[in-house]
Amino acid sequence: MNVISLFDGMSCGQIALKELGYPVENYYYSEIDKHAIKQTKHNFPDAIHLGDVTRWREWDIDWSSIDLLLGGSPCQGFSFAGKQLAFDDPRSALFFVFVEIWNHIKSVNPNAYFLLENVKMKKEYEIVISKYMGVAPIEINSALVSAQNRVRLYWTNIANRPYGLFGDMECTIPQPKDRGILLKDILESDFDEKYFLSQQRIETMLKSERSVPYVDENTNKYNCLLAGYAKIPTDGQYIVASRGRNPEKPKSREAGLNTEQMLEPRYDGKTNCLTSVQKDNLVMHIPEATKKGYAEINPGECFDFENPKSETRRGRKMEDKSNCLMAKETDFMQFTYEGKIRRLTPTECSRLQTIPEWYEWISSDTQIYRMLGNGWTVEVIKHILSYLQK
C-alpha cells in the first residue's frame, strides 16, 4: 500500500495503519509544523516528508501508485467553537486542496480510496463537502471507543454502495461497538508534582478580584471554592472530608487498623475544623451557566477549567467522559482526594485519543497537548480503515 496523508500532524493515520498490521510500502506525509514533523520522524523514520500541501504539484510522486489518501483539513472555519467563517477562513479553505489532490489521484488510479475527517458543522457546510467528495459523511463519537466525547464527521469511499435513483453513494461502515471506557479508566495513579496547580496559578486562572473564595452577600452565590477553605452550606449542600478509616469498622478509632481514604460528608450546615491538613475540608464549586450557577466537583472527579469566568459555559463537570480535546494546552483538571487540583497529564490525554503505548513522545507538554487536540482518535480511524479488507 502507498499512502499520502495531508495535514498529517502527529501521524495518527500512520499509527492506525501500523496497529492494523497493513503493509505500507511508502507513507508520504504533508506537514509544516516543526514539532509534528519531529514526532513523525522519531516514530516513523521511513516516512517521506513532502512539505507544504499547497505546493503539491511540485511533489515527485508516482501518483498512479497511491492507494489511499488521508486528511483532516483544518477545521477552525467550521467549528461551532469558532467564528464559523467556513470556506472564507483560509485554513478551512485548504479543504479544496484536498479535493484537487483527490481528483488528481483518482484520475490516474480509479481504485484508490480516501478518508477525510472534520468537525461536526452546520448542515449547509456539510452538504458542500459531501457534494465535492461524492458521499455523505458518517458521524462517529469517539466516546464509543475511548473516554472522550469527540463527535467528528468522516467522508470516505471505503465500503460505499449506491442508493436512490440518482446514483448517490452511502457509506455502509457501521458504528463502532461501545467499549464502555470511562474517564476513570484512563487516569493515572501516580503523576509528577508539576501537574498540580499552585494556589497562585488557580487565582490567576480565575482572575478573581479577591485572593480567596467568598460568598456574594447579594446573590448568595459562590465564587470558585477550593479545598482548604470553609464553606457556608445552602440549598442542602455539605462539606466533605477525606479521612483514613477502616472499611470494616469506619467508626472505630482503634490504632493499627488498615485504613482507606473515605469521604465523610457533614449535613449540619457546619464545616469541619480548619486545620493545616488540606483534605479536612474538601469542596469545590466552579462557575457554570446553569440554574444553580455552578457545578459541584467532588474529590476524584474531573472538570474542564477552560474560560473559568465564562457566563455561558456549560458541561464543565466531566463525569463518565472527558470533553473534547482542543488544540491548546488542555485545561482538563482533576480535583484529587488530597484536595489539590491537577492538570490531566499528556499520558492521560494520549489515552483519551487512544494513542498506543509504543508511540514515543519527544516534545514538550505544551506541544503534546496541541498535537493531541489536532489529532485523530486512533481507534476510530482503525475501525474505518479495517473495512478496506471487507
Task: Sort 33 into a burial class: Cβ within 10 Å, 0-12 / 13-18 / 19+.
Answer: middle
DSSP 8-state secondary structure symbol assigned to residue 248: S
Give CA–CA dist 348/331, Å, rounded: 13
Give CA–CA dist 198/207, Å, rounded: 14
Q: In the annotation, is 324 catalytic? A: no
Strand partners, 26: 2
Cβ(210)–Cβ(222) below 8 Å:
no
Indicate the helix (H) or strand (E) that contains 294.
strand 294-296
Give CA–CA dist 135/126, Å, rounded: 11
Non-local (6+) Cβ contacts of 266 within 8 A are 238, 239, 240, 241, 272
Non-local (6+) Cβ contacts of 33 within 8 A are 9
Of 254, 253, 344, nearest to 303 by C-alpha is: 344
Give CA–CA dist 140/279, Å, rounded: 40
Task: Sort 210 into a burial class: Cβ within 10 Å, 0-12 / 13-18 / 19+.
Answer: exposed
Of 269, 279, 378, nearest to 18 by C-alpha is: 378
Q: Exactly one of 12, 75, 324, 349 is catalytic; which is it?
A: 75
Active centre residues (catalytic):
75
